[in-house]
Structure 1
Amino acid sequence: MNATVQNLDVPAGFRKNAQGHLIPESTIKPIDLTRDALVQELIAAAKASSQQLAEFKARVFGDVAAFVQMSAEEYDAVVGGKKGNVTLVSFDGRYKVNVASADNICFDERLQAAKALIDECIADWSKDSGPEIKVLVQQAFDADKEGNISTGRVLGLRRLDIKDERWQRAMTAIGESVQVIGSKQYVRFYERVGDSGEYAPISLDVAKV
C-alpha cells in the first residue's frame, strides 16, 4: 500500500484524527494505520476513476455532437442547441449509444392555488369519492426529506379524467406553474446479447457492474 500523504499542517510523526486532534503515530494501533492507508489508497483510485469518467463523458457528448453536425451538413441542415435525443447504432447493430436531454422543472407559487382548489374538490367529494383518489392526491403533494415535491406525481394528476370545473382550473394552474430551471444530458450504452436481440445496458455504475 502507498504511504499516506502527509498534510502540510500536520507535524511529522503525527496524524490528525476525526476530531482535528494531533495524535502521535507511535500511539496509534497498527491496524488503525493499516486501515487508514487502505482507505487513502482506495479513495485516490476512486478519484482517478471519477476524473476519467468525467473526461470520457465530455468526450462522448463532444463526439456525438460533432457527428450529428457532420451528418446534418450532408443535407445542408443546421443543428444547434442541446434539445433532442440522439441514438447511434453500430453497423452490425450490436452496439447502441443513446444521448438524451431532460429538463429539470419545478413549480412556482401557482401550485399552492392548485392545491387549494383540489382540497375543495376532495372536501366536497368526501362522501362519494373512494379513498384511492384521496391517497393519490396526498401522495402527489408529499415532500421528500429535502422538502421537494415529486414533479412526476403532481403532473400525473393531469391524466385523471375528472370533469369538475374546479379540478380543471387546478390542472390549468399546475400546468402554468411549471418552470424549467435547467437541463441535463445523459448518455447510455447498450449491447445486444443472447438470441433475443434485446439490448442490455453497459453499466458505468460501480454498484451495478
Structure 2
Amino acid sequence: MKHLGATGVFVAVLSLLVGLTLPMQARADSLTVYKCRTTQGQLIYQGTPCARDQQQQAMQLDDNGPAASPLPEPPSPAPHVTAAPTTPALLPRTPPSMMYRCARATDRTTYLSSNGNPQPYYAPIAMTGMLPTPLGHITPGVKPNAAMIASNYVLVQDQCEPMTPQDTCSTLRDQYDENERKLSRAFKADQPALQQREKDLLAELSHC
C-alpha cells in the first residue's frame, strides 16, 4: 500500500473508510483501521496490519452506531406582555363648605355668609317698609331699650339661600384674588391677617 505523508493522512483515512465500508457491512458491525508509524516518524492509516518494523495501533470504528439525534430546538421565548398601567382609584372630591347668599332686610343688598340663619336685629321701621313687631313678641334674649321704642324700631332678619358648589367655587376664587391684591399693598402690620385669610381660602379652593 502506498505510504502517505502527514499532510495526506486525513485524505487517506477517508478513502480507506469509503473503500472498506461496503464489504465490511456484510460481515460485521465494526471495522478495524490500523494506525502505523514508520521508522521515519510518518503516520499511515490502512486496513491491513502494519509492517514488522512499524509501530502499530488498531482502532475499531463502529459502522452501525446509532445516528446522533438532533439537538432539540430551544424553546421559543414567551412573548413579552407589557402590563397595562394600573390607574389609581380616584377618591370622590368633597365639595367646599356650604356658603349662603343673604339679602339684608333693610335695603335688600346682598352679602355672603357661612351661616344660613343669621341672627335677627332691630332696624328703623322706615328702612324696612314693614309693620313694627310688637314689643311683646321680641325674640327672647333681645331686650328693647328706650331708644328702640322712641325710634320705632322693628325686629328683622336677613333672608339667605344656599349657593351651588359651582357658585361657591367661583366666589372663593374671586375672594382669593381680592385678598391677594390687598396683601400686595398691605403694610407689614396688616399682612398676618391677610396671610391667614389666604391659607383659609386655599384650603377651601382645594375642594373645587
Shared fold by TM > 0.5?
no
Larger Rg: 2
Q: Going by fraction, where is helix more abundant, 1 or 2?
A: 1
TM-score grouping bracket, smaller chain normalisation: under 0.3
- State TM-score, norm by structure 1: 0.20
